[in-house]
Amino acid sequence: MAQQLTPTDEQAAALPFPTIRPIDAAAPFRWIARGFSDLMACARASLFYGFCFTGMGLLLTYVFAHAYHYTSAVTTGFMLVAPFFAMGLYELSRRRERGEHPDLIPSLTVWRRNLGNLALFAGVLLVIFLVWARASLVIFAMFYTEELPTLDRFLSQVLSLQNLEFLLMYFAVGSLFALLVFAVSVVSIPLMLDRNQDAITAMLASIRALGENLVPLLIWAFLIVALTLVGFLSFHLGLAVVMPVLGHATWHAYRELVAPLPGSA
């Protein structure tokens, strides 16, 4: 696989707009397979991040155990900002690809490589998350028709499709926020880490990638949601494996979607 050099700040300012390549519908499954391969190749570092995700999930459940309406907002919001927290996993895949040892320590500070643009992107995700959290509470207030139950009873109501109007509205609005985040983050962070790309260009490139590869990337989005739900439904323990696989797979998605820079080795 072609390797790319990381440009300096001056070179990054003169970078051409990323060239998006077409992919086929089977591509997301290749990315998952390659992500699992990366997990196996750098298991110790990858699982460190995986258990951090598990710890965050368990902490959210404990803190909001008696306020499930906040739990649902924060849990779904967690999926919105996960691409930012997976930066270390992208770096592990990048280092492995370049023939470097995928050590944990360098991946912990990878954000320093393009701090300003990563901070801008994080700010965008944070704003979307805060708006979603507020929208989630408004939907509960307007459409949840019964007295607020315990978390266990709420989950049983969801599984039995009670409060169907609430579920449909919650899913519809949540899907819009998820699609927005997905559209701007398909390749954004890998681009910013790999090429020192600016945040605006990286987000526009992600939107173009989605527009030009709509069906394959919707399949990719479905796989992300489905696997993440498996992680949550396994008392968050499954996140220890699911999130590293998805993080590594996202790097391979970037590599396949974005053409290398001219002159890359």
103 domain residue, yes or no: yes
39 domain residue, yes or no: no
Average per-residue pLDDT in the chain?
83
pLDDT (0 to 100) of residue 157: 60
Number of domains composing the chain: 1
234 domain residue, yes or no: yes
Amino acid (1-letter code) at residue 112: R
- State the first-to-last Cα distance of the chain, in angstroms, to the nearest integer: 10
Q: Which residues of 138-165 are buried (b: 16+ CB within 10 A; e: fewer)?
A: ebbeeebeeeeeebeebeebeeeeebee
6 domain residue, yes or no: no
27 domain residue, yes or no: no
251 domain residue, yes or no: yes
Q: How far apart are CA 21 and CA 216, in angstroms?
A: 12
15 domain residue, yes or no: no
Look at the chain and count its residues: 265
Q: 77-125: per-residue pLDDT in tens?
A: 666 667 778 899 999 999 999 999 888 998 999 988 899 999 999 888 8
pLDDT (0 to 100) of residue 4: 47
The pLDDT-based confidence of 10 (bands split at 50, 70, 90) is: low
26 domain residue, yes or no: no
Range of the domain at 148: 46-257
Neighbours of 4 (CB within 10 A): 18
Predicted confidence (pLDDT) at residue 224 exceeds the cutoff of 80: yes
Which of 42-51, 125-134, 218-227 has the least mean pLDDT? 125-134
Of residues 258 and 136, more confidence is placed in 258
